[in-house]
Amino acid sequence: VRADVVDAMLGSSARIDRLLKAIQDKQVKLNELSRDKKDLLTNHPDKGIRQRAQKVVGSEVNSDRAKIVRSYETALELKGDVSNGKQVYMKNCAACHKVGDQGHNVGPNLATTKNKSDNDLLIAILDPSREAQSNYNAYTIVTEQGKLYTGIIAAETATSYTIRRAEGKEDIILRNNIDTLLSNGVSLMPNGLEKEISPQQMADLLEFIKTLEAPPEK
CA-based diameter of the chain, in Å? 54
> Residues 152, 162: contact at Cβ < 8 Å?
no
pLDDT score at 102: 94
Per-residue pLDDT tens over the stretch 130-155: 987 889 999 989 899 888 888 999 99
Q: Calculate helix-pair angle for 118-126, 199-210, nearest 10 degrees.
A: 120
**Sign of the CA dihedral running 12, 14, 18, 24:** positive
pLDDT digits 0-9 by tens, 192-215: 899 899 999 999 999 999 999 876
Reduced to 3 states, what is the DSSP secondary structure of residue 172? Answer: strand
Q: Look at residue 29 in the predicted model and tell me its pLDDT.
A: 85
Q: Is the pLDDT of residue 113 over 70?
A: yes
In order of their start, the domains of the chain are 2-60 (no CATH), 65-131+189-210 (2.60.40.420), 139-182 (2.30.30.100)
**pLDDT over 80 (residue 7):** no
What pLDDT was estimated at residue 39?
Answer: 78
Q: Kindly report the pTM of this predicted structure.
A: 0.81
Q: What percent of the chain has pLDDT over 90?
A: 54
Q: Is the pLDDT of residue 59 over 90?
A: no
Per-residue model confidence as pLDDT tens digits over 179-191: 989 887 889 998 8
Q: Which residues is 163 bridged to in the sheet? A: 153, 171
What pLDDT, on a 0 to 100 scale, did the predictor assign at position 216?
63
- Output the DSSP codes for 96-145: T--BTTBS-SSS--GGGGTTS-HHHHHHHHHSTTSS--GGGB-EEEEETT
Quickly state the pLDDT bin for 12 (edges 50, 70, 90): confident
Distance CA 188, CA 131 (A): 12
Please write the tens of the pLDDT for every residue from 13-58. 888 899 999 988 988 888 788 777 887 788 777 888 889 998 888 6
Confidence of residue 1 (pLDDT cuts 50, 70, 90): very low
Q: Residue 121's pLDDT is what?
A: 96
* Mean pLDDT estimate for the chain: 89
Model pLDDT, residue 199: 98
**Among candidate residues 79, 116, 69, the one with its CA nearest the CA of residue 212:** 116
Per-residue model confidence (pLDDT) at position 44: 79
